Amino acid sequence: MRARSWPAVLALAALLAAPAAQADPVGRYVYLSPFAGYTLFDGDFRFPQTAPLKDAPQFGVRLGYQRGSLLAFELAGGMVPTTDDTQDGANTSFSHLTGNVVVSPWAGRMGGPFVFLGMGGGRFDATVPSITSSGRVRQDQGLLDFGAGLKLWLTDAVGLRLEARNSRWLPKDAAGSPDVNHFTLGGGLVLALGAKARDTDDDGVPDSRDACADTPKGARVDAKGCPIDSDGDAVYDGLDQCEGTPKGCKVDAKGCSLDADGDGVCDGLDECADTPTGARVDAKGCPMDSDGDGVYDGLDQCEGTTKGCKVDEKGCPVDSDGDGVCDGLDQCADTPRGLEVDVNGCPIEVIEKETELLDTGKIRLQDVNFETGKADLLPGADTTLDVVGIVLRRWPELRIEIGGHTDARGGAADNRKLSEARAQAVLDYLAKKFPELKPEQFTVQGYGEDRPIAPNTTPEGMAKNRRVEFVVLNKDVLKKEIEHRRLLKEGETVPDSLRTPAQPDTSGNR
């Protein structure tokens, strides 16, 4: 760099020391920057003759798109009128246009430094009559631009731009060509087009018009940027999460009414301040109990409970056997879970199976399933067997054969063995679930495929043949019960000879 370039460096240093601005544009925007500076030509560069070019002022423009505080893309162009350093210097101009990526790693409210890198082209144009017939000489080359600078914002839309740019000349005939670097110092105004105005406290009023620049974030403000407190509770609107609090209520730091017992009536107006949390209250804050079960509405999770039902601490009916009929109204309180019951809580299936037993002398089950080829009961079988167990425990005088049956798939001997094992598995389940059943009351028999009730030629038929049957062996007991029920239905007296040792109650209430 020649000695005459130092004044330009000092000028740039003076600009960098200028007072910092107090505003900057925000968001995405287009910017335009008229530019003026001073170009220092490389002393080794010769054009159009053998003398170096004189350093000279440059005039140009920067047009860019700022994508955020960090990154921008811009076009930089300029023109420098000069002469070569001879007695009769040839009039020469240097023009350039490059595209640059601009990065501002430390941008802030006042602006900040930036660096850039880009490529483009440059042209030297001179008038030298002694060289060509037309007197014009032109040279076009590529340019690699890089440099750094500083932006200082004066307002939300206007600022200063200072930069130092090195334009590296990329000669077409690279072999043997010297490295050439032209250096430019300068600056200009920056005009931000479409940028948002700076609003430090983010209240919607730009700093330039904000009379209360330190408004808390989120508070609603008037036209001057000052916070509003419409209900006068000292908590600003926007921050007040309970605007319009009734007069007389105590409030917290968020402007919301204090309600120590959580009943919806604020402290100061609540006449029953110790209401259990969650209970519904009247306008005075006192708890209500609309169904009179001793559990307050709101805490009562089963309001409107039927009279006569026992309830738990939540106000819900207790149903110990889970049949849908509450304790206190349930006339069959030990119903196994999963069974359908009548309005009195007694299992409908028990009555149906007992009727089947009386009418046919057997109970046939086709929905007791086992693992394929095994005697292990599958889930769901327990519900069906529980129904049979309830029926059989009402008839301790009956002798029952539990018979297992299969379809025709597999060998006959294997099927008989498998069916007997399955019948035994059923008996084992009943003996464990209903210990009051007497073991000597039952026998097991495996019939395999010997007694089909449907053709084994279709899946439906084979499904019917896979069954478990409870067959009464002493049918005289059943005959007595059938006659007993007939006489009762007709209103006649039942003789003692027709009474069984443990006469079953067919109403389903046992």
Residue 402's nearest CA partner among 418, 372, 425 is: 425
Q: Which domains does the chain have, with CATH numbers?
A: 3-193 (2.40.160.20), 348-490 (3.30.1330.60)
**CB burial string 31-58: b at 16+ within 10 A, e below:** bebebebbbbbbeebebbeeebbbbbbb
Say if residue 178 is exposed, middle or buried (CB neighbours under 10 Å; 0-12, 13-18, 19+).
Answer: exposed
Per-residue pLDDT of the chain (510 residues; tens, 9 = 90+): 444 444 444 444 444 444 444 567 888 999 999 999 999 998 888 887 778 889 999 999 999 999 988 999 999 999 999 988 776 677 899 999 999 999 999 988 788 999 999 999 999 998 876 665 666 888 888 999 999 999 998 888 899 999 999 999 887 665 556 688 999 999 999 999 988 877 778 788 887 788 888 888 888 888 888 989 888 787 888 888 888 888 878 888 888 888 888 888 888 888 888 888 888 898 888 898 888 787 888 888 888 888 888 888 888 888 888 888 888 888 777 777 777 888 888 788 888 888 899 999 999 998 899 998 899 999 888 888 988 998 998 889 999 999 999 999 989 999 999 999 999 999 999 999 999 999 899 999 999 999 999 999 999 999 999 999 999 999 888 888 887 777 777 776 656 655 555 444 444 333
Question: Which residues lie closer than 8 Å to 58 by C-beta, 6 or more apart?
Answer: 35, 36, 37, 38, 39, 78, 79, 80, 184, 186
Which two structure tokens, joined as six digits, stand for 349? 């299936």
HSE-CB at 448 with a 13 A cutoff on CA atoms is 13
β-bridge partners, 448 = 405
Which two structure tokens, joined as six digits, stand for 171? 């000669």
Q: What is the mean pLDDT of the chain?
A: 84
Confirm if 149 and 113 have CB atoms less than 8 A apart.
Answer: yes
Alpha-carbon span 100 to 424, nearest angstrom: 90
3-state secondary structure of 200: coil
Tell if the pTM clears 0.85, that is, is over it.
no
Confirm if 201 and 213 have CB atoms less than 8 A apart.
Answer: yes
Task: Tell me how far apart the terminal alpha carbons of the chain are, to the nearest angstrom.
Answer: 115
